Amino acid sequence: MGRIVAAILLAGLALSGTTAMASDYAFKLHNRSTGWTISGFYTLQDGVWSENWLDSQIPAGSSVRMDWKSNAGNCVVPFRVRWVDYGAEDFSIDWCKSVSNIYMKDAGFSWD
């Protein structure tokens, strides 16, 4: 009986570890501009802009995987994209609507 209980506990730990590692808020950020480099990605929570989410710059034609690793907070969260030698632009998106890709363009963005 002790072996059965141990097996059930191990199975439960394995399943909970898998669930904890999964995320509903993983997406890919694409730079679809014609020559501009993305240098920053920030989110606005409670009136304060976050630290830069990016570890490195994203040149035109490149993309990077991102993951909030949390589904806590508001669905509609503004985000700011900073560009090298240009400045920043603010946008807003409903993160609860299965955002898989964000495509930054010369003017504006799109997502799916």
Q: Are 76 and 90 in contact (CB under 8 A)?
A: no
pTM of the model: 0.76
pLDDT in tens, 67-77: 988 777 788 98
Phi and psi torsions of 37, nearest 5°: -110, 130
Would you place residue 3 in the very low, low, confident or very high pLDDT band (cuts 50, 70, 90)? very low
Domains parsed from the chain with CATH numbers:
25-111 (2.60.40)
Three-state SS for 15? helix
pLDDT tens figures, 91-105? 999 988 889 999 999
The DSSP 8-state label assigned to residue 35 in this structure reads: S
